[in-house]
Amino acid sequence: MAFEQQFAREITALREQGELGETIAELFTVLMKRLQSMEERLEARLEEVSARLDRIEDRLDGLEEEVSGLKSRLGRVEVTVGGVAEAMLSRLALDVLRGEGYEVVAAERNYRVDDEDVDLLVRARRDGEERVFLVEVKVKPRHSDVGALLAKKELVEARLGASVTPVLAAVYLGREVEAYAKGKNVLVLKL
pLDDT per position as a tens digit, 146-159: 999 999 999 999 99
Cβ-contact 103, 124 below 8 angstroms: yes
pLDDT confidence band for 32 (50 / 70 / 90): confident
In which band, very low, low, confident or very high, does the pLDDT at 1 lie, cut at 50, 70 and 90?
low
Q: How would you class 21 by CB atoms within 10 Å of its CB: exposed for 0-12, middle for 13-18, buried for 19 or more?
A: middle
Instruction: Tell me the whole-structure pTM to 2 decimals.
Output: 0.65
What are the domain boundaries of the chain?
87-190
In angstroms, the CA 9 to CA 4 distance is 9
In this prediction, residue 17 has a pLDDT band, given cuts at 50, 70 and 90, of confident
> Residue 3: pLDDT band by 50, 70, 90 thresholds?
low
Reported CATH class of domain 87-190 = alpha beta
In this predicted model, what pLDDT tens digit does every residue of 46-83 receive, in sequence order?
A: 999 999 999 999 999 999 999 999 999 999 999 999 88
